Amino acid sequence: MSTDGRSLKFPNARLHLHELLSARHMSGPEALVEGAEHFGLIQADSSASLLSKPAQYHCPCLSTTKSIVEKHFDERSDQVHLQNLDRAEVWQAIEKNIGVIDCRVDCKALGQKSCPQANSCCHKMAPIFFDILLQQLRRYS
C-alpha cells in the first residue's frame, strides 16, 4: 500500500497496532498511544495526558497522531539537534503523507459498505497513521 506515492515501511509496527485494535479491543487513539510508548516515541506514562486532549480533527486518530508528535518533541527539548526543528514542518510532512482522508472512500477500501459517521473507520487507519508517524519522526529526529 502506498500513501501519496510513498510506501509504508514499518510492517511490524502496523501489525502491533492491528493486534492492539483487534485482540486487545483498544480504540484507535489508545492503540496509537500504546504503540508510541512501546516503540519509544514517548514516555510510558503519557497515555492519560494524550488521550484526554480535545480532538483537533474529525478523526480522533489524526488528533492523537498530532499529540504524539508534540509530546515526542516536548520530551526531547533538551537535545541540541532538535531545538531548531520546526514542529509544524514535521506535522505538515505527516499531513501531506496521510493526505485528506475521505471516509467514504476509505471505508469502501476497508470493506465497509457505508460510513455513517465521520470517524467510524478512523480506528482502522491507525496502523497507517502510525507507520507514517514513524517514518517522519525518524526522518526529522
pLDDT tens-digit map of 131-141: 999 999 998 77
* Percent of the chain residues past pLDDT 70, beyond the cut: 77
d(CA 27, CA 33): 10
* pTM of structure: 0.81
Provide the pLDDT for residue 103: 47
Q: Which residues contact residue 53 at a Cβ distance below 8 angstroms, ignoring those fewer than 6 apart?
A: 63, 64, 67
Provide the pLDDT for residue 22: 95
Q: Lowest-confidence range among 4-8, 10-14, 78-82?
A: 4-8
* Domains contained in the chain, number: 1
Q: Which domain holds residue 89?
A: 2-140
DSSP, collapsed to helix, strand or coil, labels residue 4 as coil
Q: What's the pLDDT band for 104 if we cut at 50, 70, 90? A: very low
Residues pairing with 3 in the sheet: 6
Q: Quote the cell numbers at residue 114.
A: 457505508
Beta strands in the chain (DSSP E): 2-3, 6-7
Q: Quote the cell numbers at residue 117.
A: 459517521
pLDDT, tens digit, for every residue of 23-57? Answer: 999 999 999 999 999 999 999 988 888 998 888 87
Provide the pLDDT for residue 136: 92
Does the pLDDT of residue 105 top 90, yes or no?
no
